[in-house]
């Protein structure tokens, strides 16, 4: 009889732990990497919008978006995102003075169960031709 009580206790405890972990906001991106391909330095800034959904059960707030380089500028949904609704993280990349490979990241800070998420932008900047 004692073993059954112990097993029942463990079962209840695991259910409670599983239930509490499932509570709260969640963030799920459509994709976490964008490749701009080859871009010309002289064409100026390019941008991409990463879309996400709140797959949790309470309001999701994106608190901050940190960039790995001053050549990137972020914008994002500033209002709380309801469960089941969508928001965005937009990144603008300025290739001027940045010839070569693009390999940058954004760190998304939110109140989701996983509080930090990284998004990546990639590509290659083709340098401006020097005037003769």
User: Residue 84's pLDDT is what?
Assistant: 96
Each residue's pLDDT, cut to its tens digit, for the chain (132 residues) gives 566 666 566 666 566 655 545 589 999 999 999 999 999 999 999 999 999 999 999 999 999 999 999 999 999 999 999 999 999 999 999 999 999 999 999 999 999 999 999 999 999 999 977 666
Q: Give the per-residue pLDDT at 92.
A: 98
- CB neighbours of residue 42 within 10 Å: 11
**Global pTM?**
0.80
Q: Which two tokens stand for residue 62?
A: 């994106």
pLDDT at 123: 97
**What is the pLDDT at residue 7?**
55
Q: Is 129 exposed, middle or buried (0-12, 13-18, 19+ CB in 10 A)?
A: exposed
């Amino acid at each position: 009889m004692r073993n059954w009580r112990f097993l029942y206790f463990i079962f209840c405890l695991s259910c409670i732990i599983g239930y509490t972990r499932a509570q709260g906001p969640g963030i799920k991106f459509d994709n976490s990497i964008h490749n701009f391909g080859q871009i010309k330095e002289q064409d100026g800034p390019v941008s991409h919008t990463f879309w996400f959904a709140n797959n949790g059960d309470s309001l999701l707030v994106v608190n901050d978006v940190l960039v790995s380089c001053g050549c990137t500028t972020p914008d994002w949904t500033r209002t709380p995102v309801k469960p089941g609704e969508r928001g965005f993280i937009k990144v603008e990349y300025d290739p001027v003075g940045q010839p070569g490979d693009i390999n940058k990241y954004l760190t998304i800070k939110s109140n989701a169960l996983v509080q930090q998420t990284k998004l990546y932008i990639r590509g290659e900047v083709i340098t401006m031709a020097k005037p003769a």
